[in-house]
A and B are shown apart, each in its own frame.
Chain A
Amino acid sequence: MSIAGDLIRGHTDAIILARLLRGDSYGYEINKVISTLSSGRFELKEATLYTAFKRLEETGCITSYWGSSGAGARRRYYAITQTGKQTCQKLLEEWQETKEIMDKLLEVEE
């Protein structure tokens, strides 16, 4: 699992962008979806998620705004930008290619 975890973590940006394509969201919600979709096998740490958000914001892929305060503190929402959508598309294509190559490379001939 740890190796798979590392592999997935390498695509954190793509995962976040792909989630935000479906609408604005905030840290925990995205993490929750990641956890659900991976049947609880994968999850990001808050620190990792936060770093990725900051990185994507700096490159103009996403924007953020403070939402209504949740139970305890304020909630920061993220929205994907046009640049973000293009980046997401590019990353998706890259991933498709990677997957294709890996499938070929790891193929065991009968």
Chain B
Amino acid sequence: MRDKLIQYVQLLFAGAPDSEDMKQEILQNTLDRYDDLIAEGRSPETAYRMAIKGIGDVNDILSGTSQGRPCPETPIKTKDDGDTPTKKALRVIAIALYILCPIPLILLSEMGMEVVGLCCLLVIVAVATALIMMGAKKESEENTYSDSRPVGPREELQKSINTVIWVVGVAAYLLISFRTHAWYITWLIFPLIGAVQGLIRAILDLKEEKNHEA
């Protein structure tokens, strides 16, 4: 029963990082209690149950949310507050658009207009990505006032642009290749995508430099 108790405590802390000291201490206290209860003449089963009951809720100490120590939770909260309602709304709409974007393609394909359908899909994806970008931009504007995180929004913006470039690029590659069957040459689109990406990064860098000068 004592081994079972050790196993129980070890399981309690399994998967919790940096909890070795905590585990040692609580395990020792729990074993002390168990030994004491046995010495008092309790049955191993009763002692086991009482010792476990004496541990209480370790989730409190593992998450550090016990009273008097609310610190670990605060940064997470501020991060949540960083997402303004507008940004959240934009993101929700964008995700909805991402999910619904294949509908025109499916419908128009039924009518034999694959190309139009694909164009619709791309336009919807572009709109959705633009919405996310708008959210990122809004955040960057807010951040220039507070000056708390000057790098993040730019990276986010660039990420959004990269997504658009790749989606459009791959779609263009597939579209052109299937239309022209010129597979031997269409791969050139990919180096082209890379070049466009570099160009945009350069433009963003330039723009940021100007902002700093201003």
- The reply to whether the CB of A95 lies closer than 8 angstroms to some CB of chain B is no
Majority secondary structure of chain A interface residues (helix, strand, loop or mixed): helix
Closest CB of chain B to A52's CB: distance in Å? 9
Q: Which residues 15-62 of A sit at the B interface, judged by CB distance below 8 A?
A: 26-29, 31-32, 43, 45-51, 54-55, 58
Are B55 and A47 touching (Cβ within 8 A)?
yes
Instruction: Please tell me which one of the listed residues B33, B56, B58 contacts residue A28 in the complex, with CB atoms under 8 A apart.
Output: B33
**Interface size bracket, A side:** 20 to 34
- A50–B24 CA distance with the chains assembled, in angstroms: 11
- The reply to whether the CB of B22 lies closer than 8 angstroms to some CB of chain A is yes
- Given A32-B36, A74-B24, does the pair A27, B29 have CB atoms closer than 8 Å? yes
- Across the interface, which residues of B come within 8 angstroms of A70, CB to CB? 28, 31-32
- The reply to whether the CB of A99 lies closer than 8 angstroms to some CB of chain B is no
Are A51 and B28 touching (Cβ within 8 A)?
no
Are B61 and A50 touching (Cβ within 8 A)?
yes
- Given A51-B60, A54-B61, A74-B24, does the pair A46, B29 have CB atoms closer than 8 Å? yes
Interface 1/0 per residue, B35-60 and A, CB below 8 Å? 11000000000000000001111101
Majority secondary structure of chain B interface residues (helix, strand, loop or mixed): helix
- Across the interface, which residues of B come within 8 angstroms of A46, CB to CB? 26, 29-30, 54-56, 58
- The reply to whether the CB of B68 lies closer than 8 angstroms to some CB of chain A is yes
Are B28 and A72 touching (Cβ within 8 A)?
yes
Are B55 and A76 touching (Cβ within 8 A)?
no
Closest to B60 in A: A47
Are A55 and B69 touching (Cβ within 8 A)?
yes
Closest to B26 in A: A46
- Across the interface, which residues of B come within 8 angstroms of A32, CB to CB? 36
- A32–B34 CA distance with the chains assembled, in angstroms: 12
Are B69 and A31 touching (Cβ within 8 A)?
no
Are A72 and B6 touching (Cβ within 8 A)?
yes
Are A55 and B68 touching (Cβ within 8 A)?
yes
- The reply to whether the CB of A73 lies closer than 8 angstroms to some CB of chain B is yes
- A51–B57 CA distance with the chains assembled, in angstroms: 11
Are A28 and B61 touching (Cβ within 8 A)?
no
Closest CB of chain B to A78's CB: distance in Å? 10
- A14–B79 CA distance with the chains assembled, in angstroms: 36
Q: Which residues 55-92 of B sit at the A interface, judged by CB distance below 8 A?
A: 55-58, 60-61, 66-69
- Across the interface, which residues of A come within 8 angstroms of B32, CB to CB? 27-29, 70
Are A45 and B57 touching (Cβ within 8 A)?
yes
- A58–B68 CA distance with the chains assembled, in angstroms: 11
Residue among B25, B33, B35, B60 with the highest chain A CB neighbour number at 10 A:
B25
Q: Which residues of A contact B (CB under 8 A)?
A: 26-29, 31-32, 43, 45-51, 54-55, 58, 70-76
Q: Which residues of B contact A (CB under 8 A)?
A: 2, 6, 21-22, 24-33, 35-36, 54-58, 60-61, 66-69
